[in-house]
Structure 1
Amino acid sequence: MLDVDLSQPLWMLLAFVGLGWLAARRLAVDPRPIATLLIYIIAPLTFFRGLTLGGPSIDYLLLTAALFLLASTIGLAVSHAARPFFASEEAALLAFSSGTGNTGYFGLPIAMVLLPPEGVTQYLFCLLGVTLYEFTVGYYLIARGRFSVRDSLAKILRLPLVYAFAAALLVSGLSLPIPGAVMEGLDYFKYSYTVLGMMIIGMTLGRVTLHEVDARFIGACVAARYVLWPLVSLAAVLLLQASIGISETLASALLLLGVVPMAANVVVVAMELNIRPEKGTIAVLLTTLAAPLLIPWYLQVLLALSGLG
């Protein structure tokens, strides 16, 4: 799997971050409307298209459910552990970020380079589980940093991604035809999903000042993403290999989920809720900058430890 050169797609994704920084600094582009577009239009349509094309089966939906439960467990555990050490907004931001990673904007293009078509489909359904966490349990965790329980739940009910997921299951389950022109139109959203998702990191970074650098918070975010998640993904692969047995393709997809950088949606959601987006951006940027160096090394080590290298 690692015979493929990852340097070009990784650095291209970082180039999108740089373009976002230039747009904010030189053109005074406001990232908040873009965050709203990503949450309410682009992401739901992108996942609706991917699900209908992928043909959700019971096995694929089990992957979605398993990753949703795993991400939710990590997010809830970190939320409980972080409260004594961080202010409410920082603890909420850390809890949200710990349960997720940049599996979509960053990880999906890498999966398409590394994995065969079956592996990309498996990765997509795993990614969906993480994304469902982001816009349900994770969204609730981060909203609770500022809003009441009632307001936080009300905000979740307004998010369209869960409804897009249900609509895709309905369309696939009833074998409803989707016009070719509609699917062709939806195809454009997958490109804007990645480009705008990475650019918004740079746009937010353009508004960051030095006093917002919090080494303790950044260290906790990095540890959750580049220590906890690789260990959890490796443990999951080893457990599945020893119990039911899984294919090398699925094992590789699960390991890739564990080594992507922090989620750009940390910035997107924090910006939408106005919960310290600048602070989250610094941690997201650092893990993203480290990704071209860490991802190939991490994958090589994890594949070797799981007997696939």
Structure 2
Amino acid sequence: MSYADLYQPLWMLLAFVALGWLCARRLALDPRPIATLLVYVIAPLTFFRALVLGDPGADDLLLSAALFLLSSAIALLVARLARPFFAAEESALLAFSSGTGNTGYFGLPIAMVLLPPEGVTQYLFCLLGINLFEFTVGFYLSARGRFSVRHSLSRIARLPLIYAFLAALLVSRIDVPLPGALLDGLDYFKYCYTVLGMMIIGMTLGRVTLREFDTRFIAACVTLRYIVWPLLSVAAVALLQASVGIDATLATALLLLGVVPMASNVVVVAMELNIRPEKGAIAVLLTTLAAPLLIPPYLGALLVLVGLE
């Protein structure tokens, strides 16, 4: 692993955050329509194309299912533990953030630097499981911080990522050839996905004041993201090495999932549901700012722990 190669995409992603902040401050842009665009258009089309081209097999779908179940279990546990200590909306936001990380907007460019093509494909299916959590269980937990059970479920039913996932599986199973021009057109959405996903952090921060700074909430987010998740990723890799055996590429992909910063979708979903997006944005920013300093040595240390470096 070349740390010099790794730092370049890390700083580039932070530059997108700074650009979003500048746009919010100087152009008075409202990030809410962009959050809606990400949730309802850009993310579903990005993952539909990735899934169709990935031609998922049983092993790939098993990775997605495993990460979905792990993320859901963590979020449900945190939701229960956080309830006595935080207000309903903050507890819901913390539960959502605990089950995910910035594996897409932030982690995918890094995976493309660190991993060979087959490793990037494996990473994508892990990422898909986490994204399915975000827009099903995670979205439900977030919505329950403000809405009734019925309303929360109705919000989930309107999320197109679920239908994009099912449509991609159907296309792959019945082997429907998609026009090359269509796939080429959908390719542009992956760039929007990363750029807008990072810029929306900066846009939200452009509207934040110091009153939204909550030390307890930020401490809980940082602990979950940079202590709990790395430990879980190391434990998962060690368990798989001792049981079924996994190659170094998949192990690196799993460890990378554990060291990325907080998910930008914490801000996106909080904005879509109007549940304290400013607090989420501050926590996301702090973990993102720390990422260029933490990820290279942190990931290197985890690789040593599992015997891969």
Under TM normalisation by the shorter chain, which class is it? Answer: over 0.9
1:235-254 CA distances to partner (integer Å, 9 max, x unpaired)? 00000000000010000000
Equivalent position of 1:175 in the other structure = 175
How far has the Cα of 1:5 moved from its partner? Answer: 2.0
Equivalent position of 2:82 in the other structure = 82
How far has the Cα of 1:297 moved from its partner? Answer: 1.0
Equivalent position of 2:260 in the other structure = 260
* Superposition map of 1:132-143 within 5 A: 132-143=132-143
How far has the Cα of 1:2 moved from its partner? Answer: 4.2
* Superposition map of 1:1-309 within 5 A: 1-2=1-2, 5-309=5-309
1:136 alignment partner, SS class:
helix
How far has the Cα of 1:3 moved from its partner? Answer: 5.4
The letter of the residue matching 1:85 is: F
TM-score for the superposition, normalised by structure 1: 0.99
1:27-61 CA distances to partner (integer Å, 9 max, x unpaired)? 00000000000000000000000001111000000
Specify every segment of 5 or more residues in structure 2 that has no aligned partner in the other structure, as ranges. Answer: none
1:263 alignment partner, SS class:
coil
The letter of the residue matching 1:103 is: T
Q: 1:3 to 1:196 in 2, by over 3 A?
A: closer
Specify every segment of 5 or more residues in structure 1 that has no aligned partner in the other structure, as ranges. Answer: none
2:97 alignment partner, SS class:
helix
2:259 alignment partner, SS class:
coil
2 CA distance for matches of 1:185 and 1:289? 33
2 CA distance for matches of 1:3 and 1:137? 35
**Is residue 3–residue 296 contact of structure 2 (8 Å, CA) maintained in 1?**
no
1 CA distance for matches of 2:108 and 2:57? 20
1:258 alignment partner, SS class:
helix
2 CA distance for matches of 1:125 and 1:165? 11
**Is residue 14–residue 289 contact of structure 2 (8 Å, CA) maintained in 1?**
yes
Q: CA RMSD in A?
A: 0.6
TM-score for the superposition, normalised by structure 2: 0.99
2 CA distance for matches of 1:49 and 1:304? 35
The letter of the residue matching 2:282 is: I
Count how many residue pairs are aligned between Structure 1 and Structure 2. 309
The letter of the residue matching 1:83 is: R
Q: 1:157 to 1:258 in 2, by over 3 A?
A: same
The letter of the residue matching 2:184 is: E
2 CA distance for matches of 1:77 and 1:180? 44
1:252-288 CA distances to partner (integer Å, 9 max, x unpaired)? 0000000000000000000000000000000000000
